[in-house]
Amino acid sequence: MDQQRRQFLDELLETATPSGFETEGQRLWIEYVEEFADEVQVDEYGNAVAVVDGGEPSVALTGHSDEIGFMVRDIEDNGAIRMTAIGGSDQTVSKGQHVRIHTADGVVPGVVGQTAIHLRDTDKDSIDEIDEQHIDIGATDEDETAELVERGDPITFDQTVSELANDRIAARGLDNRIGIWAAAEALRRAAEGDLEATIYAVSTVQEEVGLQGAKMVGFDLAPDAVVAIDVTHATDAPGTPSARKTGVELGEGPVVVRGSANHPALVTAIREVASDEGIDVQLQASGNRTGTDADAFYTSRGGIPSLNIGIPNRYMHTPAELLDLTDLDAAADLLAEFAAVAHEHEFSVDVR
Report which of 44, 158, 30, 181 is spatially closest to residue 101, judged by C-alpha positions: 158
What number is the average pLDDT over the span 175-199? 96
Q: Is 175 annotated as a binding residue?
A: yes
> In b/e form, how buried is each residue of 153-174, taking b as 16+ CB within 10 angstroms?
bbbbbbbebeeeeeebbbbbbb
**200/179 Cα distance (integer angstroms):** 14
Residues 46 and 299: their CA atoms lie apart, in Å, by 21
Cα gap 33→350, rounded to integer Å: 36
Going by pLDDT thresholds of 50, 70 and 90, the confidence category of residue 53 is very high
> In the prediction, which pLDDT does 196 show?
96
Are 279 and 215 spatial neighbours (Cβ–Cβ below 8 Å)? no
Over residues 285-305, the pLDDT tens digits come to 999 999 999 999 999 999 999
User: Which pLDDT does position 125 carry in this prediction?
Assistant: 83
Alpha carbons 15 and 173: distance in angstroms, whole number: 9
Is 34 annotated as contributing to ligand binding? no
- What pLDDT does 7 receive? 97
Task: Measure the CA angle with vertex 299, ends 283 and 257; round to 5°.
Answer: 5
What is the band of 219 on the pLDDT scale with cuts at 50, 70, 90? very high
Q: Kindly state the average pLDDT of the residues 259-282.
A: 97
Phi, psi of 91, rounded to the nearest 5 degrees: -65, -15
pLDDT of residue 102: 98
Mean pLDDT of 226-239: 96
Binned at pLDDT 50, 70 and 90, residue 97 comes out as very high
Residue 161 pLDDT level (bands cut at 50, 70, 90): very high
* Contact between 108 and 101 (Cβ < 8 Å): yes
- Whether residue 53 is annotated as binding a ligand: the answer is no
Whether residue 176 has pLDDT greater than 80: yes
Query: Positive or negative CA dihedral for 135, 138, 142, 145?
Result: negative
Which segment of 122-126, 285-289, 306-310 scores lowest on mean pLDDT? 122-126
Known catalytic residues are 207
| Residue 269 · residue 345 · CB < 8 Å | yes
- Burial code of 229-242, b = ≥16 C-beta within 10 A, e = fewer? bbbbbbbbeeeeee
What pLDDT is recorded for position 121? 83
Cβ pair 280, 252 in contact under 8 A? yes
Residue 123 pLDDT: 79
Kindly write down the DSSP assignment for every residue of 116-146, as one continuous string. Answer: -TTTS-GGG--PPPGGG-EEE-S-SSHHHHH
134 is in an annotated binding site: no
pLDDT score of 256 more than 90: yes
Q: For residue 27, what pLDDT is reported?
A: 98
Percent of the chain scoring above 70 in pLDDT: 100
Residue 1 has pLDDT above 90, yes or no: no
Region 106-122 average pLDDT: 92
| Res 316: pLDDT | 96
Report how far Cα 247 is from the mean position of its chain's Cα atoms. Answer: 21
- 50-53 contacts: CB < 8 A, separation 24 or more? 50/184, 50/187, 50/200, 50/201, 50/202, 51/198, 51/199, 51/200, 51/201, 52/187, 52/190, 52/191, 52/195, 52/198, 52/199, 53/198
- Any binding-site annotation on 224? no
Range 119-140 average pLDDT: 91
Helical H segments across the chain, by residue range:
3-14, 23-33, 142-146, 174-191, 212-221, 264-277, 294-297, 325-341
pLDDT at 342: 96
Q: Which domains does the chain have, with CATH numbers?
A: 3-67+172-344 (3.40.630.10), 70-157 (2.40.30.40)
Spatial separation of the C-alpha atoms in residues 303 and 291, rounded to whole Å: 17
Neighbours of 216 (CB within 10 A): 20
Query: Is the pLDDT confidence value at 185 over 90?
Result: yes
CA-nearest of 205, 334, 331 to 273 is 334
- Residues 137 and 13: their CA atoms lie apart, in Å, by 24
Q: In which band, very low, low, confident or very high, does the pLDDT at 60 lie, cut at 50, 70 and 90?
A: very high
Task: DSSP letter for 67, please.
Answer: B
The contacts of residue 3 (CB under 8 Å, 6+ apart) are: none
Q: Is the pLDDT at 170 greater than 80, yes or no? A: yes
Residue 352 has pLDDT above 80, yes or no: no
The predicted structure's pLDDT at residue 160: 86
DSSP secondary structure of 334-348: HHHHHHHHGGG----
3-class SS of residue 255:
strand
Percent over 90 (pLDDT), the chain: 93
